[in-house]
Amino acid sequence: MTGARRAIYQRAVVGHRMAALLILMLASPGGAGDTVRTEVAGLRFTVPSAWTRVPAPSDVRAAQWRIPGTDGDADNAELVLFYFGKGKGGGTQENLDRWYGQFTQPDGRPSHDAAVVTIRTVNGLRVTSLDLAGTYRSQMGGETAPKSGSRMLAAVIEGEEGPWFLRAVGPAATVAQAKSGFDAVLASLEAHR
Protein backbone atom coordinates (compact mmCIF):
# COMPACT_ATOMS: atom_id res chain seq x y z
CA MET A 1 0.00 0.00 0.00
CA THR A 2 1.38 3.39 -0.95
CA GLY A 3 1.81 6.17 1.59
CA ALA A 4 -1.10 8.16 0.13
CA ARG A 5 -3.47 5.19 0.22
CA ARG A 6 -2.39 4.33 3.77
CA ALA A 7 -3.17 7.90 4.90
CA ILE A 8 -6.62 7.80 3.26
CA TYR A 9 -7.34 4.40 4.85
CA GLN A 10 -6.26 5.63 8.31
CA ARG A 11 -8.49 8.74 8.03
CA ALA A 12 -11.45 6.53 7.05
CA VAL A 13 -10.88 4.23 10.05
CA VAL A 14 -10.62 7.20 12.42
CA GLY A 15 -13.77 8.72 10.89
CA HIS A 16 -15.73 5.50 11.38
CA ARG A 17 -14.51 5.20 14.97
CA MET A 18 -15.53 8.80 15.71
CA ALA A 19 -18.99 8.22 14.23
CA ALA A 20 -19.44 5.05 16.29
CA LEU A 21 -18.31 6.88 19.45
CA LEU A 22 -20.78 9.71 18.76
CA ILE A 23 -23.63 7.21 18.30
CA LEU A 24 -22.73 5.49 21.58
CA MET A 25 -22.57 8.81 23.43
CA LEU A 26 -25.99 9.89 22.20
CA ALA A 27 -27.55 6.52 23.01
CA SER A 28 -26.06 6.30 26.52
CA PRO A 29 -27.91 7.52 29.64
CA GLY A 30 -25.65 10.56 29.88
CA GLY A 31 -26.05 11.51 26.23
CA ALA A 32 -27.36 14.78 24.94
CA GLY A 33 -30.70 13.39 23.81
CA ASP A 34 -31.93 12.15 27.18
CA THR A 35 -32.98 15.33 28.98
CA VAL A 36 -36.00 17.58 28.86
CA ARG A 37 -35.70 21.34 29.42
CA THR A 38 -38.46 22.78 31.59
CA GLU A 39 -39.51 26.08 33.17
CA VAL A 40 -41.35 26.09 36.48
CA ALA A 41 -41.97 28.78 39.14
CA GLY A 42 -39.27 31.12 37.84
CA LEU A 43 -36.63 28.43 37.24
CA ARG A 44 -35.30 26.77 34.08
CA PHE A 45 -33.55 23.42 34.27
CA THR A 46 -33.17 20.07 32.55
CA VAL A 47 -34.55 16.77 33.86
CA PRO A 48 -33.65 13.28 32.64
CA SER A 49 -36.28 12.15 30.13
CA ALA A 50 -36.62 8.82 31.97
CA TRP A 51 -38.20 10.74 34.86
CA THR A 52 -41.94 11.12 34.24
CA ARG A 53 -43.64 14.38 35.11
CA VAL A 54 -46.79 13.71 37.13
CA PRO A 55 -49.53 16.01 38.45
CA ALA A 56 -48.55 17.70 41.70
CA PRO A 57 -51.11 17.06 44.46
CA SER A 58 -50.79 20.53 46.05
CA ASP A 59 -50.15 24.15 45.07
CA VAL A 60 -46.80 24.34 46.92
CA ARG A 61 -45.51 21.50 44.76
CA ALA A 62 -44.69 23.53 41.69
CA ALA A 63 -43.74 20.37 39.77
CA GLN A 64 -43.25 16.69 40.43
CA TRP A 65 -41.57 13.76 38.65
CA ARG A 66 -41.56 10.00 39.21
CA ILE A 67 -38.07 8.47 39.16
CA PRO A 68 -38.36 4.82 38.07
CA GLY A 69 -37.26 2.25 40.64
CA THR A 70 -34.14 0.22 39.99
CA ASP A 71 -34.23 -3.53 39.68
CA GLY A 72 -35.03 -4.89 43.11
CA ASP A 73 -36.74 -1.71 44.38
CA ALA A 74 -40.50 -2.15 44.61
CA ASP A 75 -41.09 1.61 44.88
CA ASN A 76 -40.24 4.53 42.66
CA ALA A 77 -38.59 7.69 43.96
CA GLU A 78 -40.02 11.17 43.44
CA LEU A 79 -38.51 14.53 42.60
CA VAL A 80 -40.49 17.56 43.76
CA LEU A 81 -39.87 21.27 43.23
CA PHE A 82 -41.47 23.20 46.08
CA TYR A 83 -42.16 26.93 45.77
CA PHE A 84 -44.04 28.84 48.46
CA GLY A 85 -43.60 32.31 46.95
CA LYS A 86 -40.88 34.94 46.91
CA GLY A 87 -39.10 35.05 50.27
CA LYS A 88 -41.24 32.24 51.73
CA GLY A 89 -40.52 28.69 52.89
CA GLY A 90 -37.85 29.34 55.49
CA GLY A 91 -34.12 29.78 55.39
CA THR A 92 -31.47 27.32 54.34
CA GLN A 93 -30.51 26.11 57.82
CA GLU A 94 -34.15 25.79 58.85
CA ASN A 95 -34.83 23.52 55.87
CA LEU A 96 -31.66 21.48 56.40
CA ASP A 97 -32.70 20.93 60.03
CA ARG A 98 -36.19 19.85 58.93
CA TRP A 99 -34.73 17.37 56.42
CA TYR A 100 -32.33 16.00 59.06
CA GLY A 101 -35.35 15.48 61.33
CA GLN A 102 -37.04 13.32 58.69
CA PHE A 103 -34.29 10.68 58.98
CA THR A 104 -32.95 8.43 61.70
CA GLN A 105 -29.65 6.60 61.43
CA PRO A 106 -29.26 2.86 62.01
CA ASP A 107 -26.25 3.50 64.26
CA GLY A 108 -28.13 6.09 66.34
CA ARG A 109 -25.97 9.09 65.42
CA PRO A 110 -27.62 12.40 64.52
CA SER A 111 -28.59 12.68 60.86
CA HIS A 112 -26.74 15.98 60.46
CA ASP A 113 -23.53 14.00 61.17
CA ALA A 114 -24.39 11.51 58.41
CA ALA A 115 -25.36 14.12 55.81
CA VAL A 116 -23.20 15.50 53.03
CA VAL A 117 -23.91 19.21 52.47
CA THR A 118 -22.48 21.08 49.49
CA ILE A 119 -22.75 24.82 48.75
CA ARG A 120 -22.11 26.22 45.29
CA THR A 121 -23.19 28.96 42.92
CA VAL A 122 -24.92 27.98 39.68
CA ASN A 123 -25.74 30.73 37.16
CA GLY A 124 -25.99 33.32 39.94
CA LEU A 125 -28.12 31.09 42.22
CA ARG A 126 -26.80 29.91 45.59
CA VAL A 127 -27.46 26.17 45.81
CA THR A 128 -27.10 24.32 49.12
CA SER A 129 -27.55 20.60 48.49
CA LEU A 130 -27.98 17.69 50.87
CA ASP A 131 -27.38 13.95 50.47
CA LEU A 132 -28.75 11.86 53.34
CA ALA A 133 -29.66 8.19 53.79
CA GLY A 134 -31.31 6.22 56.59
CA THR A 135 -34.84 5.56 57.79
CA TYR A 136 -37.20 8.18 56.36
CA ARG A 137 -40.42 9.48 57.85
CA SER A 138 -42.20 12.21 55.92
CA GLN A 139 -43.40 15.16 57.96
CA MET A 140 -45.73 16.35 55.23
CA GLY A 141 -49.34 15.31 54.81
CA GLY A 142 -49.77 13.55 58.13
CA GLU A 143 -48.09 10.64 59.83
CA THR A 144 -46.47 7.99 57.64
CA ALA A 145 -44.75 4.72 58.47
CA PRO A 146 -40.94 4.91 58.61
CA LYS A 147 -39.17 3.57 55.52
CA SER A 148 -35.76 2.07 56.18
CA GLY A 149 -33.24 1.97 53.35
CA SER A 150 -34.23 5.40 52.04
CA ARG A 151 -32.18 8.27 50.65
CA MET A 152 -32.85 11.94 50.02
CA LEU A 153 -31.15 14.37 47.68
CA ALA A 154 -32.38 17.89 48.36
CA ALA A 155 -31.42 21.49 47.64
CA VAL A 156 -32.29 24.98 48.76
CA ILE A 157 -31.97 27.29 45.75
CA GLU A 158 -31.61 30.96 46.61
CA GLY A 159 -32.15 33.72 44.08
CA GLU A 160 -33.98 37.02 43.70
CA GLU A 161 -37.41 35.38 43.23
CA GLY A 162 -36.70 32.40 45.52
CA PRO A 163 -36.13 30.41 47.51
CA TRP A 164 -37.01 27.16 45.76
CA PHE A 165 -36.69 23.71 47.30
CA LEU A 166 -35.86 20.63 45.28
CA ARG A 167 -36.15 17.19 46.87
CA ALA A 168 -35.71 13.65 45.55
CA VAL A 169 -36.59 10.88 47.99
CA GLY A 170 -37.12 7.13 47.71
CA PRO A 171 -35.41 3.76 48.02
CA ALA A 172 -31.65 4.17 48.51
CA ALA A 173 -30.65 2.17 45.41
CA THR A 174 -33.04 4.09 43.16
CA VAL A 175 -31.92 7.47 44.52
CA ALA A 176 -28.26 6.41 44.20
CA GLN A 177 -28.86 5.63 40.53
CA ALA A 178 -30.63 9.01 40.12
CA LYS A 179 -27.85 11.04 41.78
CA SER A 180 -26.06 11.94 38.54
CA GLY A 181 -29.40 13.10 37.08
CA PHE A 182 -30.14 15.16 40.22
CA ASP A 183 -26.66 16.72 40.05
CA ALA A 184 -27.27 17.54 36.38
CA VAL A 185 -30.59 19.21 37.31
CA LEU A 186 -28.73 21.39 39.83
CA ALA A 187 -25.97 22.22 37.33
CA SER A 188 -28.56 23.34 34.76
CA LEU A 189 -30.50 25.73 37.05
CA GLU A 190 -31.20 29.22 35.77
CA ALA A 191 -33.54 31.92 37.08
CA HIS A 192 -36.00 33.35 34.57
CA ARG A 193 -38.91 35.78 34.66
Share of the chain above pLDDT 70, in %: 80
Residues 110 and 17 reside in one and the same domain: no
Counted domains in the chain: 2
Indicate the pLDDT class of residue 29, thresholds 50, 70 and 90.
Answer: very low
Mean pLDDT calculated for residue range 94-115:
96
Quick check: 152 and 167 in contact, CB under 8 A?
A: yes
Q: Is the pTM of this model over 0.85?
A: no
Whether the per-residue pLDDT at 130 is higher than 90: the answer is yes
Residues 18 and 77 reside in one and the same domain: no
Residues 132 and 60 reside in one and the same domain: yes
Determine the structural domain holding residue 12 and report its residue range.
1-30
Residue 23: CB partners within 8 Å, gap ≥ 6?
A: none
Whether the per-residue pLDDT at 1 is higher than 70: the answer is no
Quick check: 41 and 164 in contact, CB under 8 A?
A: yes
Mean pLDDT calculated for residue range 104-132:
97
Give the per-residue pLDDT at 26: 39
Residue 191: CB partners within 8 Å, gap ≥ 6?
A: 42, 43, 44, 123, 124, 125, 159, 160, 161, 162
Give the per-residue pLDDT at 150: 96
Distance (Å, whole) CA 155 – CA 175: 14
Q: What is the DSSP letter of 123?
A: T
